[in-house]
Amino acid sequence: MPFDRSGQFYEAARAIEVDGGLAVRSKRGKIGEQWWSRRFVDVLEGVCDPGRLARGRAYARKGQVVDFALSAGQVVARVQGSRPTPYQVTIRIAAFDDTQWEEITEALGSQALYRAALLAGEMPREIVDLFTDFGLPLFPSELNIDCSCPDWGVPCKHGSAALYVLAEAFDDDPFLVLAWRGRAREPLLDALRGTADPGEAFDPLAVPEEPLADRLADYYSPAVSLGRLRERPGRGGTPPELLLRALDPPPVKVRHIPLIDLLRPVYRDLAAPPEE
């Protein structure tokens, strides 16, 4: 039974169909195929009303989301409901500032695993731990959601529909996850390449050669200013599922989940120290 923002009951009418709306590909079951999309869906399903989420999934599958635009810390979407004018949905999270992104980018660029994966257009699972080490969670635990509709629920079905469309957009472009936190794809990749020229070939494992005689004056000097150093939790060494990353993933799914995603936690469990 829907109520408006003043607490008054109103009768929900049938939504106006949208020609060319942003319909998600998933027509049943969970929305989001990649691990980062499913992680985001897990967050929103943990903090949002299940009933409105169910109606939002139906809206997302019917293509009721007209469009959406993502920028640092904000997503703005238009969702067609029962009224002629689409409702405007705004979803906000905290974006990281330039100083925070400078530290994150430096950490990403210092490890070949992250650097090579991101330059190849992939999102390594271990990146979540790196952000957590800095006290800057990659995925938000809270969502600030506003909608121009009369429903008092947060999120309403229009906001839920926009969230599900956003989750599937993350499937297609994992860099949207980072852009929402404040760093767009190209500036990040340019920084990881170490050059502003995006057309220049880059070998993520290459180490520039310099004659020792040219570095005698600063050979024992730290590469980073001592004032910028701080104690950080250790991140461990090679991830136990590195072999899975090196091999081509098998085209096999178990209950719509890629087999390789099921094997990763098994590899981690095998590498975990035995309990005393």
Q: Residue 14 falls within a domain, yes or no?
A: yes
Torsion of CA 256, 245, 179, 207, to 10 degrees: -170
> How confident is the model at residue 87, as a pLDDT?
96
Q: Residue 207 falls within a domain, yes or no?
A: no
**Tally of structural domains, the chain:** 3
Helices (H) and strands (E) in the chain, counts: 10, 6
**Domain co-membership, 115 together with 41:** no
Q: Residue 115 falls within a domain, yes or no?
A: yes
Report in angstroms the alpha-carbon separations of 211 from 207, 208, 223: 13, 10, 17
pLDDT band at 258 (very low <50, low <70, confident <90, very high): confident
For 59-114, the pLDDT digits (tens) are 999 999 999 999 999 999 999 998 999 999 999 999 999 999 999 999 998 888 88
Taking Cα atoms as reference points, which of 21, 60, 22 lies closest to residue 41?
60
Torsion of CA 244, 246, 251, 254, to 10 degrees: 10
Taking Cα atoms as reference points, which of 225, 230, 123 lies closest to residue 177?
123
pTM of the model: 0.66
Q: Residue 73 falls within a domain, yes or no?
A: yes
For 135-191, the pLDDT digits (tens) are 999 999 888 999 999 887 778 999 999 999 999 999 889 999 999 999 999 999 999
pLDDT band at 46 (very low <50, low <70, confident <90, very high): confident
Q: Residue 58 falls within a domain, yes or no?
A: yes
Contacts of residue 67, Cβ cutoff 8 Å, sequence gap at least 6: 22, 77, 78
**Domain co-membership, 146 together with 161:** yes
Question: How far is the C-alpha of 204 from the C-alpha of 86, rounded, in Å?
Answer: 46
59/199: higher pLDDT: 59
Q: Residue 231 falls within a domain, yes or no?
A: no
Q: Which residues pair with 90 in a beta bridge?
A: 76, 146
**Domain co-membership, 58 together with 131:** no
Under 8 Å between Cβ of 57 and 164: yes
**Domain co-membership, 266 together with 151:** no
3 state SS of 119: helix
**Domain co-membership, 257 together with 131:** no
pLDDT band at 29 (very low <50, low <70, confident <90, very high): confident
Q: Residue 249 falls within a domain, yes or no?
A: yes
3-state DSSP helix/strand/coil % of the chain, to nearest 5: 40, 10, 50
% of the chain at pLDDT higher than 90: 40
**Domain co-membership, 172 together with 42:** yes
**Domain co-membership, 14 together with 125:** no
**Domain co-membership, 23 together with 114:** no
Q: Is the pLDDT of residue 202 over 60?
A: no
Taking Cα atoms as reference points, which of 169, 184, 201 lies closest to residue 67?
169
Q: Residue 218 falls within a domain, yes or no?
A: no
**Domain co-membership, 102 together with 45:** no
> How confident is the model at residue 223, as a pLDDT?
57
Q: Which domain holds residue 38?
A: 1-95+141-182
**Domain co-membership, 125 together with 178:** no
15/162: higher pLDDT: 162
